[in-house]
Structure 1
Amino acid sequence: MTVLVVTNDFPPRQGGIETFVRSLCSELPDLVVLTSRMAGCSEYDAGLPFPVVRDRTSMLLPTPRVTRSAVRVMREYGADRVVFGAAAPLGLMGPALRRAGARRIVALTHGHETWWAGTPGTRQALRRIGDAADTLTSVSGWCEEQIAPALSADAAARMRRLTPGVDTSRFFPDCGGEQVRKGLGLEDVPVVACVSRLVARKGQDTLIQAWPRVLAGVPEAVLLLVGGGPDRDRLEDLARQTGVAHAVRFTGAVPWEDIPPYVDAADIFAMPCRTRRFGLEPEALGIVTLEASATAKPVIIGDSGGAPDTVRHGETGYLVDPYNPIATALRITELLTNPTRAKAMGKAGRDWVQAEWTWPRSGQLLRSLLDLR
């Protein structure tokens, strides 16, 4: 009962979906991955305990050629189960793989399928994907609410929630934050970190706009922006214009394996993510928020899409209006000036993640959906 995982979202490329798909692969007993080619992939694949077949292109699309390739890999490895790492658009290959012998097909949905569900043309394609699969999964209740109306009644009834887990052996209190602080010259100062790509949806600009008010209450506070991305120049300009450039640090891109200490370096994790482009670009969930909770950090998160699922408001952190820098500053200042409350929220977050957000729990559900015994 070998599983064929067909995905564009796979390391060494970094991102939330890549982490999701790779971690689920570790929960499957026998698998082969068909994915796209990217820089560094040969070295990465050599260290994996399962085979990876790289297509010649940098992005898989459900073309006749790629579909034939998927069928060929199925037959070569004797696979009779299929997981699509992202349902749209690769799930359109479902009927062909079914004819080739796939007994069970599970298609994972994330955030981008929500706009497929709301756009003519892609909505019909998503419906076909749902009908071809045994199960479409969703990472959050909000995503399910957006996607289900685009599906047939049968496909909607077969949807299941499959949330990511957190590797608490990587993300835990004191997992290297002290060394990061020392290396950045941030010893003995309050640090608020946002660990994410620098893109408009993640809301780093809201944090910068909030920083003058934060400094008014906590003069030594530093905003640490961890990650690279196309928004960096704009954010640096904004920090200068706002007069807080001295209190904002940019680390640039950080390798995935080195991320935990940067989360641990913070007193507070903040990511006021927002929904953009008329609702077509939401935050589907936000696994980095759960990773911060696993590291016992209180979290301040924007109210976007499925992000509310990652925080217990008032218990593990706060939801904020991502377009309101004043409200964001108030919550940050509250926690920086009340370390006892911040510590209690961080502990509650770690306890919650350990109880309910684990990869073995997610893997058990996926194996059940694939009818793996």
Structure 2
Amino acid sequence: MTRTLVVTNDFPPRQGGIQTFVAALLARRPPASLVVLASRSPGWEEHDAGLPYPVVRRPTGMLLPTRSTTRAAVDLAGRYGCDTAFFGAAAPLGLIAPALRAAGVGHLVGATHGHETGWVALPGARQVMRRIAGGLDVLTYISEYTGDRLAPALGGVTRTAQLSPGVDVDVFTPEADGAAVRERYGLGDAPVVVCVSRLVARKGQDVLVAGWPHVLARHPDARLLLVGGGPLEAALRRAVADRGLQHSVVLTGAVSPGQLPEHYAAGDVFAMPCRTRRGGLDVEGLGMVYLEAAACGLPVVAGTSGGAPETVREGVTGHVVTDPRSAEGVAATVSGLLDDPERARAMGAAGRRWVEQRWSWTTIAATFADLLDPPQRS
């Protein structure tokens, strides 16, 4: 059996999208095929005790490609007989790949997640990204958009392949019950538009709030449920108050991952009109929330940023708004779905089927296995 050394700074119990992605990939590999080198975060000892594979934690909260990290990785690879290495985030830890290859690790794979598209837009960082890629056998990307942005900068120095995050279709499901969430926030039987995301400008919650009066003009009983915390929260609360929307807009604050399905399920329509900012440096790599919402049977309204349009089959599972900065345009798209609940439900059902076919972890895990062990699966 091929044994894989996983080198990652992004690993539970630290929370985040990359951490969840890496942990989910590993959960679908044979435990005896894995050993992990990671950084420390609060609760790591208890977390690691429950894992079926060994995890070695460096005494740091940030794992960087230092000499000591390189020595630790080489030592682990030798001790466990690893013939494959996987970098949970290739930039910057992939810089230690040449040392692992020199130590006998024959196949090296590194993942990218979206922020690397910002790296390749900057001359110095672009050279580092190219150097990282040149030390790997495969560099993965999460969406066609990020792959297209990376390719010109890499110049063909390594093979690239898509490895997107997956959705746990047994957790995010139309059977999830949103009744308790509706009761908690006094939503009753009102039509609910839900947005689940960190509250940052790129995600577009400010546009949803600005456009909400237009939705209320057509659907006076509608409610907007903004799920998540983040630096934009105070400004959003002020905007809600300034517009007199306290009766119809709810901000939940941060919600634990285990509570997300019931929050999706409290909605009738999912909307997150994400937009690209800072000259392309602040961009949506893919947008897993759209796929989680679709898995829960909701029609989705997405923005045009980065890979977000790839999560929607236009007119089938939802809509991509052409101008995510337009409050009126976003409101019109959302209102159109609220106008026709039957059509919205049909889109939600189509989204569920699509996620099961294309985006479930069963599909993603098979892709990951092929990338880690191509000779046996050719």
Which TM-score band applies after superposition, normalised by the shorter structure?
Answer: over 0.9
Q: What residue number does 1:76 align with?
A: 79
How far off its partner does 1:361 sit? 1.7
- Displacement, 1:180? 1.8
Separation (CA, whole Å) in 1 of partners of 2:82 and 2:63:
19
- DSSP 3-state at the match of 2:71: helix
> Who is 1:230 aligned against?
231
Amino acid at match of 1:15: G
Shift of 1:25: 0.7
Normalization by structure 1: what TM-score?
A: 0.96
What amino acid maps onto 1:168 in structure 2? Answer: V
Question: Match for 1:56 among 31, 55, 59?
Answer: 59
> What is the match of residue 31 of structure 1?
34
Give the superposition deviation at 1:182.
1.9
Q: Which amino acid aligns with 1:276?
A: R
Using the TM superposition, give the Cα deviation of residue 363 of structure 1 relative to its aligned residue in structure 2, in angstroms.
Answer: 1.6
Match of 2:109 among 106, 109, 116: 106
2:86 touches 2:109 (CA, 8 Å); kept in 1?
yes
* Alignment of structure 1 residues 13-28 onto 2, 5 Å: 13-28=14-29
Distance 1:63 1:80 in 2: 22
Match of 1:67 in 2: 70
| 2:90 paired with 1:87 | yes
1:370 corresponds to: 372
In structure 1, how many angstroms separate the alpha carbons of the residues matched to 2:185 and 2:57?
A: 38
What residue is the counterpart of 2:184 in the other structure? 183
Q: Say if 1:34 and 1:54, in contact at 8 Å, map to a contact too.
A: yes
The 5 Å alignment of 1:233-244 reads 233-244=234-245
Equivalence for 2:349: 347
Q: List runs of 5+ in structure 1 lacking aligned partners.
A: none
Contact 1:131 1:152 in 2 (8 A): no
Equivalent residue for 2:133? 130
Structure 2, unmatched stretches of 5+, are: none
Structure 1 counterpart of 2:19, which letter? Answer: E
What's the C-alpha RMSD, in Å, of the aligned pairs? 1.4
Write out aligned runs for 1:189-268 (5 A): 189-268=190-269
Task: Output the CA distance in 1 between the equivalents of 2:319 and 2:140.
Answer: 27
How far 1:47 sits from its partner (Å)?
Answer: 2.3
Letter in structure 2 aligned against 1:289: Y
**Code of the aligned partner of 1:179:** A
TM-score normalised by L of structure 2: 0.95
Residue 48 of structure 1: CA displacement? 2.1
The answer (yes or no) to whether the contact 2:130–2:157 under 8 Å persists in 1 is: no
Q: Secondary structure at the match of 1:246?
A: coil
Does structure 1 retain, via aligned residues, the 8 Å contact 2:83–2:107? yes
Q: Does the aligned pair in 1 maintain the 2:40–2:61 contact within 8 Å?
A: yes
User: Which letter does structure 1 place at the counterpart of 2:122?
Assistant: T
Q: Shift in Å at residue 179 of structure 1? A: 2.1
Kept after mapping to 2: 8 A contact 1:130/1:152 = no
Regions of 4+ moved over 3 Å: none
Distance in 2 (alpha carbons) for counterparts of 1:64 and 1:347? 51
Q: Secondary structure at the match of 1:318?
A: strand
Q: What's the CA shift string for 1:151-188, capped at 9, x where partnerless?
A: 13242xx1111122211100111312122212222221
| 3-state DSSP of counterpart to 2:283 | coil
Aligned mates of 2:69, 2:351 — CA distance in 1: 43
Instruction: List per-residue Cα deviations over 1:274-326 (Å, max 9, x = no partner).
Output: 11111011100011110110001000011100111100111100111221111
